[in-house]
Amino acid sequence: MNICKNTETLLQHTSNPDKAELLWCANSHHLHQLPTTALLIDGAVVDPAKYVRDPGIYIDSDLIVRMHVKRTVSRCFAALRQLRQIRRSVPPATFQSLVVTLVLSRLDNGNAVLIGLPAYLVHCLQSVLNAAARLIYHMRSAYHITDALASLH
């Protein structure tokens, strides 16, 4: 387990210690060995978190970004449900632009941290892409989605 040796140095540079977050990181085999006690930073007590958010990306203590995928998928499906209600009220090109802007752009946000993601998390993200394509092209779940995804790309 490798815990940052410069923790005190990094935390001293926090401009507002009341809003500081602390995340101890380790692989899944060593998570139980991480410290659970709070740190005192400029008079503020900072408890370790299970995940932290850094400009829109949620990072778990095991660095698998489960929370990021979970929240992204949840927000994308919520947007798809709202878009479904207006699908017949707007022209198809406008609707496609709305789906790309409100849903697919969320999937692209922070996708560099998704490299090496476990297959079950990739499947969750893929389900959002599939649902978006089905919504745009009025497809049932029994239809093949590959051609629709290719035309959206």
Task: Kindly report, residue by residue over 47-80, the tens digit of the pLDDT.
Answer: 776 666 666 666 666 666 788 888 889 999 999 9
Q: Are both 34 and 81 inside the same structural domain?
A: no
The boundaries of the domain holding residue 93 are 66-152
- In this structure, the answer to whether residues 146 and 73 fall within a common structural domain is yes
Q: Say if 111 falls within a structural domain.
A: yes
Within a domain: residue 54?
A: no
Q: Are residues 42 and 70 in the same domain?
A: no
- Residues 21, 78: one domain? no
User: Are 97 and 23 in the same domain?
Assistant: no
What's the alpha-carbon Rg for the chain, to the nearest Å?
A: 20
Rounded to two decimals, what is the model's pTM? 0.64
| Number of separate domains in the chain | 2
Has residue 21 got a pLDDT over 80? no
Is 145 in the same domain as 70? yes
At 45 the pLDDT is: 77
In-domain check, residue 127: yes
